[in-house]
Amino acid sequence: MTDKDHPHNRKVYIETYGCQMNEYDSEIVREVLRRNNYTLTDSQEEAGVILLNTCAIRENAHQKVHARVRQLGPLRKRNEKLIVGILGCMAQNLKKELLEGDSGVDLIAGPDSYKALPVMIDRVHVTGEKEYKLTLSEYETYADVFPTNRHGINAWIAVMRGCDNYCTFCVVPMTRGRERSRDPFNVIEEVKQLSAQGFKQVTLLGQNVNSYRFKGFDFAKLITAVSRIDGIERIRFTSPHPKDFPESLLEVVATNPKACKHIHLPLQAGSSRVLDAMNRTYTREEFVALAQRMREMIPGLVLTTDVIVGFPTETEVEFEETLEVMHEVKFDAAFMFKYSERKGTLAQRNLGDTVPDEVKTDRMVQLVEQQRRISYERNQLHVGETFEVLVEGEAKHKGQLMGRNDGNKIVVFSDNGARPGDFIKVKVDEVTPNTLIGTALTTTEAIRKFAV
């Protein structure tokens, strides 16, 4: 078929919500559509197709998608041929409601159905009927779709998809299906292309990234293989599960100079009873022992975490255990959330939402205050140290630049003419809980000479 056979407006506007995996998936969708003669636009007014790539993890995701679709109503009235599609995790959850009556939605495609989008859009255009494709695949890894239009200094690359862990608070196993890993040769091919495009840093992505396994080729081997690619200087990964950190993986992070010395180790709760209710498969003691082992094996390691407060049935004493573990492990930073129910999860079905909101808020305040102190103490240890910083761009304040050190900490320094993608040395003079502030030791001339 040629473009002439498709007289409909082939400009696509994509909006992405949620996690990094969704951002990556939007790149896959762009690539699939680009290969089918669609062009991308930043203007929803001039688009013929508007796709919302949704996320079910965040609070109120459901209402937000409905509100956004309603907002597009006037645009649909002005442009009757406009096709509105819902992609991503909410697509899995919302099929029934969105396909009913005049919902304002023309197509729904789940996370494993993006290759079908061009055909689905054509069908809607020709028949005027609604289309949906939500089947979850045990095999789809989009290995043959390399996104080609990435920006910034870091390239995200999905190496596995789905999750088999069934944490009781999480919708991912329901919305994204079973775990499956990409062929390592295919990952290497994509990273080589990224390196040729000038990327120096890649972040390996997966819902449960360290459970990566392809016919006996595990995650430690994958990092080693990626590190052999010329031009790639830094390798990061997210999000791992504590259950998948064999010694061989810690060894690679400890010894491979390209593997960044930063591990995100989601704790979720400090009480073994709550961890069991969450189906996290580790106890408080096992988690603390793992964190200690990591710090022993990897000098200078930056450890960060995720924590949920007010999980159903969590008592005051059990919350205090979370405070204790956080105090003991001394994470450099933490993402902290009040528990909120997700439809269809085991916790929602079996436990309800038993901790009152004001109790959750109170626990959250205590946790955030404690973590702020710990993050500040951890950062103070860096005063006087010199780090290699990968420059990302301008900082919030005029005349300053920002980048990240190997441990993923934000480093701010006076603008010395460095450009995004430059590596420069910065000596830390002072700190806040979230930022290292320092002086660039490398001159711009030295950076350029180094680059040549």
* Angstrom distance (rounded) from CA 191 to CA 421: 17
Measured between alpha carbons, how far is 387 from 222 in angstroms, rounded to an integer? 26
> Tokens 């129910």, residue?
341
Q: With binding defined as CB under 6 A, does residue 364 bind ligand SF4? A: no
For residues 232 and 226, the answer to whether their CB atoms sit within 8 Å is yes
Q: Minimal distance in Å, beta carbon 413 to ligand SF4?
A: 35
From 111, 173, 242, 403, residue interacting with ligand SF4 (rule: CB under 6 A)? 173
Residue closer to ligand SF4 by CB (options 131, 218) is 218
Applying the rule CB under 6 A, the residues between 152 and 171 that interact with ligand SF4 are: 163, 165-167, 170
The yes or no reply on residue 175 touching ligand SF4 (CB under 6 A) is no
Per-position b or e across 7-37, b if 16+ CB within 10 A of its CB: eebbbbbbebbbbebbebbbbbbbbbbeebe
Is the Cβ of residue 57 or residue 424 nearer to ligand SF4 in the bound state?
Answer: 57
Helices 61-71 & 89-99 angle (0-180, nearest 10): 60
Residues 251/218, Cβ–Cβ less than 8 Å: no
Q: Which residue in this structure is represented by tokens 């590190």?
A: 227
Q: Is 172 in the site for ligand SF4 (CB under 6 A)?
A: yes
Least Å distance, CB 345 to ligand SF4, is 9
Nearer to ligand SF4, 55 or 431 (CB): 55
Of these, 53, 207, 271, 345, which contacts ligand SF4 (CB under 6 A)?
207
Q: Is 93 in the site for ligand SF4 (CB under 6 A)?
A: no
Cβ(275)–Cβ(283) under 8 Å? yes
- Rounded CA separation 147/27 (Å): 5
Query: Which of 57/391 has CB closer to ligand SF4?
Result: 57
- Binding of ligand SF4 by 208 (CB under 6 A): yes
To the nearest whole angstrom, how small is the minimum distance from the Cβ of residue 331 to ligand SF4?
18
- Chain residues 114-133 in contact with ligand SF4, contact rule CB under 6 A: none
Alpha-carbon span 26 to 24, nearest angstrom: 5
Q: Which of 241, 264, 342, 382 binds ligand SF4 (CB under 6 A)?
A: 241
Q: Which is nearer to ligand SF4, 16 or 208 (CB)?
A: 208
Angle at 28 (CA atoms; ends 22, 30), nearest 5 degrees: 105
Q: How far is the CB of 203 from ligand SF4 (least distance, A)?
A: 17
Question: How many residues touch ligand SF4 (CB under 6 A)?
Answer: 10
Scan residues 312-341 and list those touching ligand SF4 (CB under 6 A).
none
* Minimal distance, residue 280 CB to ligand SF4, in Å: 8
| DSSP string of 122-179, one letter each residue | HHHHHH---EEE-PPPSS---TT-------SSEEEEE-EE------TT--HHHHH-S-
Instruction: Match 């955030």 to its residue by tokens.
Output: 368
Select 24 or 387, whichever has its Cβ closest to ligand SF4.
24
List of residues contacting ligand SF4 (CB under 6 A)? 163, 165-167, 170, 172-173, 207-208, 241
